[in-house]
Chains A and B, each alone.
Chain A
Amino acid sequence: MNTLRSLQTHRGLAFMAIPGLIVFFLFYYVPMAGIVVAFKDFTVREGIFGSQWAGLDNFRRLFEHEGFRSALGNTFIISLLRLSFGFFAPIVLALLLNELRSAALRRTLQTVTYLPFLFSWIILSGIFLLVFSIEGPINSLLLHSRHAPISFLSDDAWFLTLVIATGIWQSAGYGAVIYLAALAGISPELYEAARVDGANRWHQMRHISLPGLSPTIVVLLILNLGHVLNAGFDQIYNLYNPHVYDVADIIDTYVLRRVFNLQLGLSTAADLLKSVVGLIFLLCANRLARAATKGEHGVF
C-alpha cells in the first residue's frame, strides 16, 4: 500500500521512469530466460525447450577444457592487475586535480584527462598498434638511442603492461570525475578549521580529503570487485594477437569465439559462471565493507 501511495505522490517521476523500466525489462529480464541454455545441449533446431537437458555437462566440459581454464586464469590476473594499479590511479588524479589553485588549469587538465574515455577502443587500439609496432615511433626512439627494438605487442609481459597502462590512461580521467564530485561535497569549513589549526596542504589532503573520499572509494571498490571477471573485452579484443593468446585470452574472448562457433550451451555456461563469480565477489566485498566500517558503508 505504501508503495502505491508513494507512486501516487510521485506519479510524474514514476511516469518518467517507465521507458527506463521497459529497457531494463526487455534487455535484462527477458534474456534471463536464456540462462536455461547453460544447462542444455542446445541446438537452434530443437529450440530452447526442445533441446535435451544436459545437467551440468556444459560446466564440466568447460572445466575440462584447457582453453577455458587458461582464459579464467588470465581474466583473474588481468583483473587483479587492473584493480591493483588502475583502481588508485583516478583517486590520485582527483586528489592532485583538487589541489590545483588555478581553476582554469584544473578544468583544462580535467578535460584533457577525461577525453580518452570518449574514444572507442576500436580507434584507440588502431593508434596503439601503430605507436607500439616494430616500426612505430616508440621503437624508432629506442633505435635512435641504440637500443634493440622491443616487440611490445608480441611479448607476453610487455603486452600485459601495455594493456594495463593504456587502460589506466583511457579511464583514469573518467574515474576521477566521481572522486572530484565527492571532494566537492566535503564541507569547506573543515579545510578552514584545519588551516586555522596550522595544517598544511599535505595534512589537509591526508586527514580531510582522503577520509572524505573513503565512502566513495569503498562503494567503487565493491562495484569493481563485482566486475572482477570483466577484464576489459573491448580493449583486449582489439589489441591481442596469436602471439599473446596464452596471457591475453580472457573469458569474454573465449565466449565470443564459442558463440561464433555456435556452441551456445558452452558460451552461456561460461558467461553464467562469470556472473555468479561476480555476484559472490560483490556480496563478499559488501559484507567486508560493512563489517570493517561497522555497517556505515556498503552498497546494500
Chain B
Amino acid sequence: MLTGFGFSKFIGAARELVFAQVLLPFSRATVWIIVFVIHQPLRTVVFAFLWCGLIAEVSAQKKFAYDPLALLQIRDDPARHLTLRWQGTIRAEAGRPGSWIERFIENRFNLTLEPRFIVFFSYPRVLPLRMLGGDIADVTWIMARDVAPFSRHGFALELPWEVIRRHAPNYVRLLNANAPEMWLLTHNEGRNYGVPLSTIESRFPRPGIWRMDWLRNVGIDRVPATLVEMEEALRRFRYRDPDRNGKIDTYGMSTWRSPMAPDTMDRSFEEIFGAHGVLTTGWMERNGKIVWGGVLPEAKETLGVLQRWYAEGLIYPDYAVAPAGSIDLIKKLTSGMVGYLSGLAEYFSFDLSNNQSMAAVVASVQSGGEIVPALFPRGPEGKRGGRGVSFGESLGVLMFGRHLEHEPEKVVRVLRMLDEFAADAELFLTVRLGKQGHHWQWDEAKGLHPLPPFDLSNNAARELIHRTLEPWRTWGFYSLFGGTQAIADLFRTAPHRAFDDAYRNSADAIYDALGQAEAVPADLILGDLIQFQVTTYSEIIGGRLPLSHFDHFVREWHHRGGAQLTGEANDLFARRRWILDRAGVPPPVTP
C-alpha cells in the first residue's frame, strides 16, 4: 500500500533528498553572499583559500622572459631524441597509437610520438576545455578561428615569421606561391602564432547534385544551367511526382551545412547566392573597400528568390534542422525526399565501382536511380559560382603549446619535419598514404588506390592511412598539410581531372577577400553577427519576415558591431602587405 507506514516514510525521506537536490545547486552565488554576510568562520575559510591560491600562483609564475627570435639561433640536432605530444587533425578519431606511419616518422626524425585523438564533431567543445584545464599538447592542430583566443589566453606559442622562414623555407615557398593570404589567419595583434597549413582541395568550389532520373521523369533531359531552369526543375520535383509513387510528397532541394560550423550555415544555398555574385559569410572587396557579403544588396535579391521558393515548397522545410553533416543530408537525396542537394559533388560521389559512393547508394535504393553533378546556375546577370575556400582554410593552423618556450628544440624539429614534407614528394606520400606497395598502389587506370586490407575504411582509419589525397575526406594527421598541386595532379586519373575541370573549376569560385571571415579577430561580435544573420535569413526565407525586413537587418547589423568589425577588416586589409612582407611574400609585379 502506498499509504503504508514504511512506504510513506520512504517517500518522506525521498522528499528530503529531493529538496536537498534542488536546494543544493540553486545558486553558488547565493551561498557565497550568505556566507559572506553572516557566517564569520566560513568567511575566514574562503579567504584563506583565496590567499593560498594567490600564493601558489605567484610562486608558480617563475619570471621567464621568452624571446621568440631566439628560435632563430637554435639548430636542430638530429641525434637528440625528442618526445612529442601530438594532437593531430580531427577526423582521425578512429586512429590508434603505434601505427606504421607513426613508427616511420619516429625512426626518421628520432622522435617518440604520443598521438592524441579528438572526435571530429566535439572539437569546438572539447579543445577549449582541454586547454583551459592546462592539457596542452606540444603540437596541436587548431582551426583558424581559434588563433585569436588561444593566443590571447597564452595557450599558443608566438612564432615569428622569420623563424618559420628560417626553419621551413621550402614550406614557406610553397605557401607563398599558392595561398599567401593564409598568413592573415595566424596573425594576431602584430604577432604570428603558429604555422598556417595549406590544402589543395578546398579551393575548388563544390557544386550540387541532381537526381537525373527525377529530371527525366518530369520531362527535363539536361542538367539545369541557369537559375530559371533550376527553379522550373525544382517546381516539377515538388508538384509532378518525380518518384512516380502517385503522391505529392517530394521537395525540390535541401542544402548543405558545414558540420564544423553548424550554426553559421556558411555554405547553405551557396550556389543561389553565387548566382548573384555574393558570398554571405565572408569579406568581399567592393571598390577597394572590404565589405561583409551578407549585408550586400545582392544578398537581399537572393533572399527574395529563396523566399519565393520556400513559399512554393521547393525547399525542404526543415533544411536547417537536420543534424549537420553530409550523411544525414545525403539520406534526403538517397531516400527520395529531395531531388537536388547543394554543395556536395566531388569526383568520388559518382564512382559506381565503390558501393559506398553516393551514386551507388542511390542506384541501390531505387532501381534506375541516378545522380549527376550540377552546374553552378547562372543568375540574372550571368554570374555564377560557389564558395571557393581559399587555399588552406579547411586545413587550419599548426599551433605549438606555449610551454615549448622551455623546449625550443621541439619547435625546430617539427618545423624541419614540415619542411622536409614540403620538399620531398616521396616522403610526403609516405607519411600521408603509408608505404607504397603495402598500403597503396597507383596505376593509370585506377589512379591511387589502397591495397587490401586498407581498402576498408576502418582498417585505413585505424592505421591513420589516408586513402586519397583529398584532404576534406581525411586531413593529414601526421602529414600536416595537404600536399602540393603537382602531387595531387599526379594521382588524379584522367576522368578525375576531367571531372574537376568541368564541374569544380576554380573559375567558378568566390573567395573571401581576407582568406577567411575569422581572419578578423572579433571574438564576440563575429559569431553573434553570423548567428543574427542566419536567424534573419531563415526567417526571411521561411516567410515569417517580409523581404523588406532585410534593410532593417542591415542597419541593425551595423549597429550591433558590424560597423566596427568592417572597420577592423579594412584595417587588416590595409595591413595585409605588412604581414605578407614579414612572411616573405613577394609583392605583386605591376606591369
Contacts and interface: CB of A to CB of B under 8 A. Distances in A.
B128 A279 contact: no
Contacts of B12: 181, 185
A5 interface: no
A28 B20 CA distance: 14
A65 B29 CA distance: 23
A124 to B, nearest CB: 15
Contact of B22 (A28, A43, A155, A223): A223
A262 B145 CA distance: 12
Interface string A186-205: 00100000000000000000
B124 interface: yes
Interface string B537-550: 01100101000000
Interface string B520-556: 0001100110011011001100101000000000000
A286 to B, nearest CB: 12
Contacts of A43: 152-154
B26 A242 contact: no
A119 interface: no
Interface string B218-240: 00000000000000000000000
Q: Which label, helix, strand, loop or mixed, suits the secondary structure of the A interface?
A: helix
Contacts of B25: 28
Contacts of A258: 524
Nearest to B45: A29
B527 A29 contact: no
Contacts of A28: 24-25, 28, 31
Nearest to B526: A261
B367 interface: no
B321 A129 contact: yes
Given A153-B321, A223-B19, A278-B26, 6 more contacts: A28-B28, A35-B29, A143-B249, A177-B18, A242-B265, A261-B524
B2 to A, nearest CB: 6
Given A49-B54, A184-B11, A243 B31 contact: no
A279 B33 contact: yes
A166 interface: no
Contacts of A167: none
Given A66-B532, A279-B29, A241 B320 contact: yes
A178 B149 contact: no
A154 B322 CA distance: 10
10 contacts: A31-B28, A43-B152, A47-B61, A178-B18, A181-B8, A181-B12, A243-B321, A243-B542, A257-B527, A264-B132
Interface in B401-458: 402
Select the residue from A155, A181, A264 with max chain B CB neighbours within 10 A. A181
Interface string A12-34: 00000000000010001111110
Contacts of A135: 337
Select the residue from A29, A103, A227 with max chain B CB neighbours within 10 A. A29
A48 interface: yes
A177 B321 contact: no
The 6 residue pairs across chains A and B that have the minimum distance between CB atoms: A45-B154, A275-B29, A181-B11, A44-B153, A275-B27, A262-B149
Contacts of B81: none
A250 interface: no
Contacts of A242: 262-263, 265, 320, 531, 534-535, 538
B2 A279 contact: no
Contacts of B524: 61, 65, 258, 261, 263, 266
A260 B125 contact: yes
A11 to B, nearest CB: 20
A65 B526 CA distance: 12
Contacts of A29: 31-32, 35, 42, 45-46, 49
Interface residues of A, number: 67
B65 interface: no
A73 interface: no
Interface of A: 24, 28-33, 35, 43-50, 61, 65-67, 103, 106-107, 129, 133-135, 143, 149, 151, 153-156, 177-178, 180-182, 184-185, 188, 219, 223, 226-227, 241-243, 245-246, 257-264, 266, 272, 275-276, 278-279, 282, 299
B440 to A, nearest CB: 38
B40 interface: no
A278 B27 contact: yes
Interface in B506-522: none
A276 B318 contact: no
B499 to A, nearest CB: 32
B5 to A, nearest CB: 10
B26 to A, nearest CB: 5
Contacts of B131: 44, 262
A236 to B, nearest CB: 14
Contact of A156 (B42, B54, B318, B544): B544
B104 interface: no
Contact of B132 (A262, A266, A275): A262
Interface string B365-405: 00000000000000000000000000000000000001000
A194 B61 CA distance: 75
B486 interface: no
B17 to A, nearest CB: 10
A241 B321 contact: yes
Given A177-B14, A223-B26, A262 B153 contact: yes
A154 B153 contact: no
Nearest to B15: A181
A134 B317 contact: yes
B317 A151 contact: yes
Nearest to B16: A181
B124 A260 contact: yes
A133 B320 CA distance: 11
B23 interface: yes
Nearest to A220: B22
Nearest to A100: B2
Contact of A35 (B15, B32, B322): B32
Contacts of A181: 8, 11-12, 14-15
B49 A33 contact: yes
Contact of A50 (B7, B22, B31, B61): B61
B31 A154 contact: no
B560 interface: yes
A106 B527 contact: no
A69 to B, nearest CB: 11
A46 B57 CA distance: 10
Contacts of A156: 544
B2 A180 contact: yes
A48 B544 CA distance: 46
Contacts of B204: none
Given A184-B8, A245-B534, A262-B149, A154 B32 contact: no
Contacts of A276: 29
B61 A45 contact: no
Contacts of B155: 44
Nearest to B30: A279
Nearest to A61: B524
Given A242-B263, A275-B28, A66 B528 contact: yes
